[in-house]
Amino acid sequence: MSDDSVQPEAVMDYNTDPWDPEARRKETATDAPDLDVRVVPDVEPIALADATRTQACVPVALQDAIFGTRTAARFSFAVIDGAKIDGLAELLETSGLPHRCLYTKDSGLQDVAPWLVELHDGTPFVRSLFTVGDAPWALWGRGWGTVLRSAMPLDALYAHLRHFTQVRLDGPKPVFFRFWEPRVMARYLFNHHDTARENLLALMGEGEIICVDWWNDIAVHAQARVAAERPRHWPHLREDLDRIRLQIYCETLTDELGERVPRWAILINPSGLKQ
């Protein structure tokens, strides 16, 4: 697919909430010297009826972000949550794609572990990740994980990401960090504590991360412009993530009430729920 067929991404300011429909129409440039964050609007999955007769593997709006050749990040990967896809390990074995589990065998968490998978354009497994429908192999909307672009090959990126599956907050004891949660990370990339910038740059390793918020038909595409050393601590991470998860819960609840009880949706103020 040529670059001419891909719509340019909308650049969003850090002070603009891309989850606010009014704010989403106000496209403004951001000039962050170290971390470039953009919102990709109108992300439409592949329809189940089209999946067997299309050459596309990813939504048109994400083709360049995931498989483009404009940057030095020449490898495409996904970090996929084993807790969201039944039998993920077996699916990966039959996919023909290089992959590694980010948790060790002795962790006892193999069935719910995240897996690093190298994505190849034109493969059925990649297409299934972005296909919507009631077929068991159509995985769109399950919150399965995030996409990464990197100059590092699989084994090098695996070793790098292993350092971030657990992080230290303010104390000596590490905690699990699920950086592959797409709806959470999409918001976190836009709205995080100032002290987290170096941590995010270290996590991304001069690469890119694409988080699809399928609930709102958008994606967040972030690119680290500089390298950063892996920090010893990640302060304020818990507060940031708790706040974001509450926002997502309120958003989901408000939308579901709007579908089931329209009158309630009129009475509820979503912005008040998120406070």
208-248 tens-digit pLDDT:
999 999 989 999 999 998 889 988 899 899 999 999 999 89
Residue 10 has pLDDT above 50, yes or no: no
Q: End-to-end alpha-carbon separation of the chain, Å?
A: 43
CA max distance for the chain: 53
Residue 261 has pLDDT above 70, yes or no: no
Provide the CA 117 distance to its chain's centre, in angstroms. Answer: 14
Residue 9 has pLDDT above 60, yes or no: no
Provide the CA 55 distance to its chain's centre, in angstroms. Answer: 23
At residue 240, the pLDDT reads 92
Among residues 43, 77, 32, the alpha carbon closest in space to that of 222 is found at: 32
Cα–Cα distance, 93 to 98 (Å, whole number) = 9
Task: Report the 10 Å Cβ neighbour count for 235.
Answer: 15
Cα–Cα distance, 248 to 131 (Å, whole number) = 23
Cα–Cα distance, 247 to 157 (Å, whole number) = 31
Cα–Cα distance, 266 to 254 (Å, whole number) = 10
Are 100 and 85 spatial neighbours (Cβ–Cβ below 8 Å)?
no
Averaged pLDDT score across all residues of the chain:
84
Residue 4 has pLDDT above 80, yes or no: no
At residue 256, the pLDDT reads 75
Residue 188 has pLDDT above 70, yes or no: yes
In angstroms, what CA-CA distances link 10 with 70, 79, 230, 240? 17, 25, 30, 25
- The residue type found at 163 is H
Q: Which residues pair with 38 in a beta bridge?
A: 11, 221
Provide the CA 91 distance to its chain's centre, in angstroms. Answer: 21
Segment 22-32 shows an average pLDDT of 48
